[in-house]
Amino acid sequence: MAVLKFRVYWEEDDAIYRDVLVKHTQNFTDVYHIILKAFEFDQKHDATFFRSNDTWQRGREISKAVYEKEYKAPPLLMDETLVGTEIIDTNQHFIFLYDFVKSWTFLIELIQVIKNADADMNLEYPFVSRVEGVGPMQYGTKGLLGKTFADIEEKYDLAEAQDGFGEEGEEGAEGEVADDEDDHDEDEDTADSEDATEDGSKESEFFDGDAY
């Protein structure tokens, strides 16, 4: 028995990849499951592998099922095809296509063959041995904080706090309006007083000048 180490790249960014180890006696369904697990995808959609070469051309398919589409050659089935039987080259390539609607595409390259004597038989294969880069989010956008931020938001009820800030601002605004109205009333009272004083002065001057 040998253990095969594959590097699985996300097609859109080769800095994002996962290394997975698979026994050569395991089948492509096992590879299918470990890739989806490595990239945190569900297993609800159609999928297929393609044999490939150094220039990533698509060859014969190793498919989850026989789909209603045209094939250049009948596909092999994942459940029936052992990984070891498809290793023709020392750096064998495959392409993995998941969810035919969204066309998630991963490039797979054989990077190491570990002989039986050197393999750790205490491990449960297949498994993910290395994770590099923040992978794509299958549905929507992946935040860097992820679930951690959701927990913080729930604990401190940030949504309610935001509403509170809004209400406080509104109260402040009303208070400012009220203060402005009071100041306006005071200004009017002062103006009325001044007008009254001026009128009083005029009357006094009038009577002083025209007293009987």
Instruction: Enumerate the domain spans of the chain.
Output: 2-140, 155-209
Order of all β-strands in the sheet with 61-63: 76-77, 61-63, 47-52, 93-98, 104-115, 2-10, 13-23, 127-132
Q: Which CATH number fits domain 2-140: 3.40.50.720, 3.10.290.30, 3.10.129.10, 3.40.190.180?
A: 3.10.290.30
Q: Give the per-residue pLDDT at 188.
A: 55
For a pLDDT cut of 70, what percent of the chain falls above it? 66
Contacts of 89 (CB under 8 A, 6+ apart): 110
Q: What is the pLDDT of residues 74-97, one digit of tens each?
A: 999 999 999 999 999 999 999 999
Give the number of other Cβ atoms within 10 Å of residue 84's Cβ: 16
Longest pairwise C-alpha distance within the chain: 135
